[in-house]
Structure 1
Amino acid sequence: MTVWDRPEPPPPAPPLDRGRIVAAAVALADEGGLEAVSLRKVAARLDVGPMRLYGFIATKRDLLDLMVDEVHAEILPERPPGDWRETLRVHAERTRQAALRHEWLADLLGGRPTLGPHGLAVTEARLAALDGLADLDTVLCAVATVSAYVTGAIRREVADLRAERATGLSTREWQRASGPHLTRMLATGRFPALSRAVHDGTDTDAGTSFATGLEWVLDAVAARLTRPGV
């Protein structure tokens, strides 16, 4: 066999680092949800063997933690907002925007705190915004209360988006399709409060609903902060 007939060896393996691994995992999750993410699939996306990933990440849980922390970098604004209320409002809105870009985030919000550098920076900014305005337990409860509202609202909105894709019906189309059944049920007179809500309530979009509820929660926090002795 001549030198011209001998195949050349494959090029060196592409360089790998934790940032590239996490970016590939986030891309997979954006495309197909968390079920599309595994160490094997991430390795395939990077065109490397799965065993190469274990030098950087031991388990899928580690990978998910890194993915959540990566998205937390999108939540922290470049410049700190003004007062505590604006800080919590901006963080809430940016969290919602991040979850709409990365719907899988809704499944991982809440629970145990994020310990990555970006997640810790977000928590630090929220606590620092309220520092000195009340005792520490009140501050912790205020931040947790706002976070609980944001998490719940985001999960509901993302669930509605998923239902729309699964059924092929928008919320308004689903309401029209369900209208005859609901009309029959309300006509029984068993649900007077619900009947008033359906017939007289104002239909608002998800963004307006989120912003309105957030302001109510912040009003409650403000009232608590101004209470004597707090």
Structure 2
Amino acid sequence: MDMPYGSAPLPVWERPEPRPRAAPVPLSRAKIAATAIRIADAQGLEGLSVRKLAKELGVGPMRLYDYVANRSELLDLMVDAVYARIAEADEHTGWRATLLAVVHRTREVALEHEWFVDLLGARPHLGPHALAVGESTAAALSRAPGVRGIEDLQRAVGALNAFLVGALRREITERRTARSTGTDVSDWQAALGPYLTRMLDTGRYPTVARLVVDGAHLDAAETFHHTLVTILSGITGRRDP
């Protein structure tokens, strides 16, 4: 493995592809990542292993280690392949339109690859496509009216990322739960409705009662969009110390 500084290995994105060999099955990091993504889409990250991936590719497991040093590098390649799709979001001149496009594209892709949310926030994503998405997001936020310096920008990026990770994890967790239990929202509400009604009738939770009884039942996409717009509006507004 190439070593750039002392004993520290080069990141997988900076190491050259292994030289092609005379083998029945040609390999590349892109092909390995795409196959791993298909497995994870069908079986989750817990169903992904180097041995299973090698079998799907029709090669021996040891051959994969010419391309990735370990499972962590494999996950890095998969994550950056997903970011490559996020980077395809439509380009806009305005900062707000840019952020809306990038964030909605992120949700769209995450719903297609649910395992992606399991790796959000776990560690920095530093692949070239992840950096491109990060640059687009940070550059757009830096042009927002309420962002006046680097500290404002750091807080704005942090707030947006916190919303994105939390919202996506919640939505996908609900989808997984519905699939694993066979219970959708209406079933859950029917099962717990009598209990919740008794609790709200005590009068101890008037604000919760308003939310339950009078609140609009928005779908996931609409809720995601409205919360995103609220956060962006907050970033542009005045924040007193």
Q: TM-score of the superposition, structure 1-length normalised?
A: 0.88
Partner of 1:65: 76
* 1:160 is aligned to 2:136: no
User: SS at 1:112's partner residue?
Assistant: coil
How far is the alpha carbon of 1:12 from its aligned partner?
A: 3.9
Alignment equivalent of 2:230, drawn from 207, 213, 216: 216
Alignment equivalent of 1:187, drawn from 201, 208, 213: 201
Give me the whole-angstrom Cα distance separating, in 2, the residues matched to 1:63 and 1:184.
51
8 Å CA contact retained: 2:29, 2:67: yes
* 1:28 is aligned to 2:20: no
Which 5+ residue runs of structure 2 have no aligned equivalent?
A: 1-21
Which 5+ residue runs of structure 1 have no aligned equivalent?
A: 1-10
Which amino acid counterpart does residue 183 of structure 1 have in structure 2?
A: T
8 Å CA contact retained: 2:80, 2:128: yes
Alignment equivalent of 1:54, drawn from 65, 87, 95: 65
Which amino acid counterpart does residue 180 of structure 2 have in structure 1?
A: A
How far is the alpha carbon of 1:79 from its aligned partner?
A: 4.5
User: SS at 1:215's partner residue?
Assistant: helix
Partner of 2:14: none
Which amino acid counterpart does residue 58 of structure 1 have in structure 2?
A: A
Partner of 1:103: 114
Q: TM-score of the superposition, structure 2-length normalised?
A: 0.84
* 1:123 is aligned to 2:134: yes
Which amino acid counterpart does residue 48 of structure 1 have in structure 2?
A: V
8 Å CA contact retained: 2:89, 2:101: no
Which amino acid counterpart does residue 28 of structure 2 have in structure 1?
A: D
CA distance 1:78–1:164, change in 2 (3 Å): closer
Greater Cα offset, 131-140 or 160-169: 131-140
Aligned residue pairs, count: 216
User: SS at 1:204's partner residue?
Assistant: coil
Greater Cα offset, 70-79 or 211-220: 70-79
How far is the alpha carbon of 1:112 from its aligned partner?
A: 2.8
Give me the whole-angstrom Cα distance separating, in 1, the residues matched to 2:99 and 2:90.
14
Give me the whole-angstrom Cα distance separating, in 2, the residues matched to 1:18 and 1:45.
15
Give me the whole-angstrom Cα distance separating, in 2, the residues matched to 1:141 and 1:88.
15
Give me the whole-angstrom Cα distance separating, in 1, the residues matched to 2:65 and 2:170.
35
Give me the whole-angstrom Cα distance separating, in 1, the residues matched to 2:112 and 2:90.
21
Greater Cα offset, 73-82 or 156-165: 73-82
Which amino acid counterpart does residue 177 of structure 1 have in structure 2?
A: A
Q: Equivalent pairs: percent with the same residue?
A: 46
Question: Could you say what the CA RMSD is over the residues aligned between the two structures, in angstroms?
Answer: 1.8
CA distance 1:111–1:84, change in 2 (3 Å): farther
Give me the whole-angstrom Cα distance separating, in 2, the residues matched to 1:40 and 1:217.
44
* Aligned structure 1 segments of 4 or more residues deviating by more than 6 angstroms: none
Greater Cα offset, 133-142 or 99-108: 133-142
User: SS at 1:57's partner residue?
Assistant: coil
Give me the whole-angstrom Cα distance separating, in 2, the residues matched to 1:212 and 1:150.
13
Give me the whole-angstrom Cα distance separating, in 2, the residues matched to 1:131 and 1:157.
28
